[in-house]
Amino acid sequence: MTLQPPRAAGPAGSAMAGGGTEGRGTIPPLRIAVIGDSGRIPERLAQQAYEVGREIARHGAILFSGGRDGVMAAVSRGAREAGGLTVGILPGDDPREGNVWVDVPVTTGLGMEWRSLVLIHAADAVIMIGGGNGTLGELSASYLNGRPVVVLAGTGGWADRIRQVAVDGRYIDHRRTIALEFATTPAEAAARAVELGRRFRQRYFPGPARWTGAGEAAGGAGDVTAPA
């Protein structure tokens, strides 16, 4: 697919995570990160990423990505054209680094490697599409930080090689911290990521938002503990 700039449309009509209590209610919306190839990508890969973004939006989740080109642009376009909200975690300080389908460009000034850590920590679940060395690093960061990952098979790169080198075909190392999940279609990948994201949230951060705007203080920040 050829990526063209979006027609006049804004995030005002974007759909937030639904279900009655998520999104604009008391429970923060689900956040699904997509990692994958940057730069010029084949038409087929762009179409697969576009469909993943569209399906994420249809499930009412917020799309997070690295916000730039390649898979990041295609998935952002798919989500935005389906009425979803798209967030790009950028490596520099210039919000113009983000592709034209990013509704919320988050500038970090941290460079590529540390930007990727911000992306993973901002997500409840991760979808991997293709990918080279940078994507492999983001996969490792997901594993180290307990984020569930759905790998979209048939997209090339590490998405099609990781099962061969993983322990028991599902774990990044011998500690078997969290199993990789595999999907064969964009719709399956998005649905599974949303389900795993909900489980992740319920396990580590259950309940409503801590701050109601009344100026009250609550408990300390929560973290996901996983072995390094």
- With 60 as the cut, is the pLDDT of residue 228 above it? no
Model confidence at 221, pLDDT cuts 50, 70, 90, reads low
Task: Please tell me the number of Cα atoms within 13 Å of 24 on its side-chain side.
Answer: 6
Tell me how far apart the alpha carbons of residues 155 and 159 are, in angstroms, rounded to a whole number: 6
Tell me how far apart the alpha carbons of residues 11 and 62 are, in angstroms, rounded to a whole number: 12
Average of pLDDT values for 63-70? 97
Q: What global pTM score does this model have? A: 0.86
- With 70 as the cut, is the pLDDT of residue 25 above it? no
pLDDT in tens, 141-189: 999 999 999 999 999 999 999 999 999 999 999 999 999 999 999 999 9
Tell the CATH topology of 28-204: Rossmann fold (3.40.50)
Domain ranges of the chain: 28-204
**Residue 59 · residue 82 · CB < 8 Å:** no
How is residue 4 annotated by DSSP? -
pLDDT of residue 208: 79
Tell me how far apart the alpha carbons of residues 76 and 61 are, in angstroms, rounded to a whole number: 13
Q: Residue 106 in 3-state DSSP?
A: strand
